[in-house]
Structure 1
Amino acid sequence: MAYRRASPFLLLATAHLCLMSPHNTAAVSFSYNFSKASDQEKLWYANGNSSAAGDGISITKVNKWSTGRVAYKEAVRLWDDRTGERASFHTSFSFAIGRSGSGDNTGADGMAFFVGPFTPSLPQDSDGAFLGLFAKNKLAQGTVGVEFDTFWNAAPADWEPNDITTDHVGIEVGNIWNIINYTKDLANGSLSGPMEANIAYDAGSKLMVVTLRLANGSSVSVQATLDLKAVAGLGPDAAVGFSAATGNLFESHQLLSWSFSSTDPSSSSTKIQLWVILVLSAASALLAGLVVAMTCFIMMRRKRPPPPMEIELPVARKFSYHELTLATDSFSQDRKLGAGTFGAVYRGDLRDRRRVDAPVAVKKLTLLLEQTRRNYVTEIMILGQLKHRNLVKLVGWCDGGGDDKLLLVYELVTNGSLDDHLHGSSERLLTWPERYKIVLGIGSAIEYLHTGDKDAILHRDIKPSNVMLDDAFEAKLGDFGLVRQVQPGQGSLRGTAMVGSWEYMDPKCITTDSATTASDMYSFGVLLLEIATGKRPRVPRGR
């Protein structure tokens, strides 16, 4: 049999890769977006309480005394037994905690990032205050945890810091009694909504630094010096992941995205002969030259890549960041209309071709988590194709050429929100004819969403603050960041993350882990009672 002769280039490339690449490298690097089913499948799940849920990972069930854990399936090398060299690592993740809705913002009990023994397992009796991190004993359990604690347990619980009584971020080693540092300036209720955390561990200084960006855009940090190699029960190959628990109250714990990278502690022990290095250096130079030349040739022939976001819509247009900066006087505080979890809204004046100023509302997103970006695209794609007198009109959008400049432009509805008129600063009560007109308008908007297209569109966050009123008290339903379209042939959104406001949420969204048009109608019914009575709905404590 005759064999084709391998080209010198192929032999050189193969030799270079084989000799220069470390064998069975211990470095780890991954990045997961848990809105993708393929990424959801890459985690280890401890029990039936943890599961994939549409836009993310639900670590616990939304009920009392639920405990769960998820983890990366492979071991992470923390140090090399032969050389004693330690690994550094960095991880960032976005997550959301949904409170039970009680008036005092009571949570129960929180979630945590952990580094622990491999293979991962869920400790027994680790519910409530133990956050799925540690069993209820003072033994060294080989785990380091970064806790996001939403419930302070009063005495005689000796595992809580005695100089705070609020939400806190802490670093614990070995068991829950050994909290080596924690925040002291967070108010109760701070650890709720969508958040983003970064944890960096430097092997040289043995310093762990935790930074958390809260839902309101502010940041807190905590740090501690610890030697992972000295943690009793923790081996060189460790598990990394997340745990959470509820107690006598409940809350939701959603993991939305996660990236992780670590160094290879064994790389410094690799010895290569000098002559091999010299030969490979020359080969590398030749190979690099060929690759660069080929890359340049290909790049010269390629067309320029498209802009970051190309969206074709019949009823909205794309603005430049410069246009919107001029329209809002550089986002002046004097033009600020309000602020929410994901950003602020400013009054803008856009000039048309006749040089006539057209008033608009410009929403500037500031909390740029992965979930925020997905909601931004969803709002453009869905609201930009809808047209109804009782929906807030999307005039356009701007991505500014980068994720730090995401803006949405709406028609300006000048009479405030329904929430302002029911509970806010309005000097007059709504008349019954006005309330009746508002109810008809909201109902008409919901009917259009559910039946105006071949596939139903679910709003999922119907409440007074999302209903705007014009000068004639015509209702306009807005804030479409949580809107989703039901897929053809399906009657509901299954496995969807629990989103929206607790007081207006259909309980079946929690028990069945799905949303339907009936879920929107439930929220509409709660809103009808609020319009009729003037009283806000409340979720009973502990429910």
Structure 2
Amino acid sequence: MSSSVVLLWVPFFFFVSFILASLSAPFLPADNVTLFGDAFFINNSISLTKELNCFSSSSTPTAAAAIAASSSSSSSGVGRALYVHPIRFLDSRTNTPASFSSRFSFSIIPSPLCRFGDGMAFLITSNGGYFSLSDGYLGLPEPLSTQDSFVAIEFDTSFNPSLGDINGNHVGIDVNTIVSFASVDSVSQGIDLKSGKEMTAWIEYRDAEKIIRVWVGNSPVRPPRPLLVAQIDLSRHFKEFMHVGFSASNGPGSAGHIVNRWRFKTFGFIPSAIPMDAAEDGDCFMCAPENSNAKRNPFDLHIGSLEIKEMALGLGGLTAVVLAMIVILIIIFCLIRKKRLGIRRSQEDQSCRIQTAPMRFSLAEINSATMGFNKKRIIGEGASSTVYQGFLPSVGAVAVKRFTQTNRIDYCSDPFTNEFVTVGDCLRHANLVQLIGWCCEGNEFLLIYEYLPNGSLDKVLHKNIKSGSSLTWEQRLNIVLGVASALTYLHEECERQIIHRDVKASNIMLDSEFNAKLGDFGLAEIYEHSSITREATIPAGTMGYLAPEYVCYGVPTEKTDVYSFGVVMLELATGRKPVDDDRSVLLDWVWDLREKGTLMLAADFRLMGRFNRVEMERMLMVGLSCAHPNHKKRPTVKKAARILRGEAPLPTLPARKPTPRPQHSLPEASQRIMDLGGDDENPSLDDAPWMTPRSHFG
């Protein structure tokens, strides 16, 4: 054995001994968390405040007041719980800021006959030794010196207009001040902070994007959409070491602010060591394992910037030593292997996020860019937004998407949030419209996209149906392949699968060289690739592009996008709209020509025969195949593109158009949810357990 190997094993042995010695320590909450003010431990949880009994009589307190502490004069009304060790948020050697992710379960329990307390907050502060135990303000620090800073996610249950509160039941983001710079009405999103029920919150900040996201749910399963999304550069507020924990206050009211479980993780210092998609799990600062009989609140060791979660071992002596050595060797081997094989890809992903992170613009900048949202600058209008052409000196020509104003004063409207979350998460592809920036001020919700001079496909294709075509056959084929590339990316290549739900000609934009870029993600749905269930929604979109099973059952899948893509293909090949002014349906017309053996008569007459007949036949056949009434007969978008390029044989189609018998297109593991029964090829709609009651169409 070489001397270098021996040198590695010597510290490794002492390292194992140190861990085993730590494992013998008792698993007590006090090992993890330091309490301040009114905070106290109760049943392996933390109560941040002392709940007061407001009964004026000698009546017996209810069960809700069982955890209440005495209403003695010693109560300050403010409590905090901070993780016992400071955590590194800034690498002083490289000046690299950390990203972080946290998950915790909490409940706010009211006191009988008392008004609610102020609420609670997840807190990151640079000064763990400074506390203002004055009543109110969630126990957050008073105005700090320039050397100190804090970031808080508040769960506010009181209404204080002087602090800019939108109501008495909201979630907000505070930075160095108790006045939130972004907040959202939680009740409108189905979350009642005053319900007394246990809720789970997820908080994630990714420095590469400069975006913080907050999810809140009534179950341990994270909701598909964040409750609150905001863009801010927190690295300017990070010190090298920060304290992490919770803060709450009762003010003139009373409530128990309970934290039950808590996980936290910083990541980003060593990209290959901590995958981005694994950041949510984090290390257990105070949590209950899956086995309810196991001990709770394990102690976490912090060695440099890495965190090693302690495990309760039922083994002793030599067996424990050998087991620990094997586990640690595996961890070290995996880290080295990941670093060697994955660091280049991680750096490229990091570069992608830095380059594509949307910028925040002020309303004054956007007003100037669009000449005060001048009507002459309008280049597109939809159900929930209007698009303006603008010019920003720092960027150049842009398209500003202005969402419909409402009387609400919370942070973001739903269509805005959905599109921002979908497109802003590093969707980088040559055939997707790129998001440049955003603006949220007052009631204005704005997304700033790259400007595409040739506008939307529908306006170019149907500009003047009686004149000669403005698109050559080569351009049309290139557009179809571009859209196919974009959809393949969304369906198969993204970290999470994205169903667009609104693929149509008006959402396909054309650049200066008539290359296609798919845009408008206002209806998009994001799914984990491993998801086994999908919720039904009220179908939304444009008639003529919607798959029959989606209209009936409201379950969007990649096959519903394939159907819309097929209609777009036929639209480009024929030059006709999906539903013409005389109510004739494009799909029926093309099928009718195929049945008569005259399919090539469907080719756009404005091309005047200037097209490749083999390629035209492929596009018409693939279009019909993608828009097949039975979703099981549709190819994937990737396979459709291969056929269009001549890399695969033409699809086999029946002699006549199949009779539409809509079938659900849930993943196979979910078919038990909507099993129609009977013959799979000929299901009876009468046997369906439910039908979507209504639809929203554009």
| TM-score above 0.5, yes or no | no
Shorter-normalised TM range: 0.3 to 0.5
Counting helix residues as a fraction of each chain, which structure ranks higher? 2
Task: Flag the structure with more relative contact order, 1 or 2, with Cα contacts below 8 A and sequence separation at least 6.
Answer: 1
TM-score by length of 2: 0.34
Q: Based on CA coordinates, which of the two structures has the bigger radius of gyration?
A: 2
